Amino acid sequence: MFTIIVLIVVAVIVLYVVGLYNALVTARNGYKNSFAQIDVQLTRRHDLIPNLVETAKGYIAHERGTLEAVTEARTAAVNGLAAAKAAPGNPQAMQQLGGAETQLTQSLGRLFAVAEAYPDLKANQNMMQLSEELSSTENRVAFARQAYNDSVMGYNNRCQMFPSSIIANSFGFAAAEPLAMDDPAKREAPKVSFT
């Protein structure tokens, strides 16, 4: 009788540990899936930028520095995204991506500020459409980033709370890094106004 009770207790403990492990795996897969949504939106953003630059080039050719800054920032952001895709949640990759996206947002803001000074460019149908798509994408990026950060928080909570922290440490579940911008003022999408 005692042996049966011990076996039942051991079975309950094993099932509990398996449940904790599976919950950690589910949470880790959840934040990786949330990052995939960021990837989709940032890729869309990065794909829109060359068209925006090409449209603006003809009108503001003497603003070469601004156009080059946008192009360089886009390249850095694409590289940051590639590094983050290889290791979603990795602190260095997330910080690199956050910094690159901040730089891209700032350079786009300068491009739009320069574009405001050119009435022909402001009235260009292609520029207006690209600006609207970019603004919409910025909103999608913000929502995807929020969902990712929420998933990371849930995963990190599971990794740090007792008793699942014992399982997390035993099986190598590392904390994930949220995607953040350097400065809250830089988190806003560039203001786009062609009216």
Compute the residue count for the chain: 195
Quote the pLDDT of residue 147: 94
**pLDDT, one tens digit for every residue, the chain (195 residues):** 889 999 999 999 999 999 999 999 999 999 999 999 999 999 999 999 998 888 888 777 777 888 889 999 999 999 999 999 999 989 999 999 999 999 999 999 888 888 888 877 767 788 888 888 988 998 999 999 999 999 999 999 999 999 999 999 999 999 999 998 654 444 455 555 544
Long-range contacts of 61-69 (CB under 8 A, 24+ apart): 63/114, 66/107, 66/110, 66/111, 66/114, 67/111, 69/107, 69/110
CATH code linked to domain 17-187: 1.20.1440.20
Q: pTM to 2 decimals?
A: 0.78
* pLDDT recorded at residue 72: 94
Give the per-residue pLDDT at 187.
45
pLDDT for res 181? 64
Residue 19: predicted pLDDT: 95
Q: What is the pLDDT of residue 183?
A: 47
Q: What pLDDT is attached to residue 80?
A: 94
Of 12, 50, 1, 28, whose CA–CA distance to 155 is shortest? Answer: 28
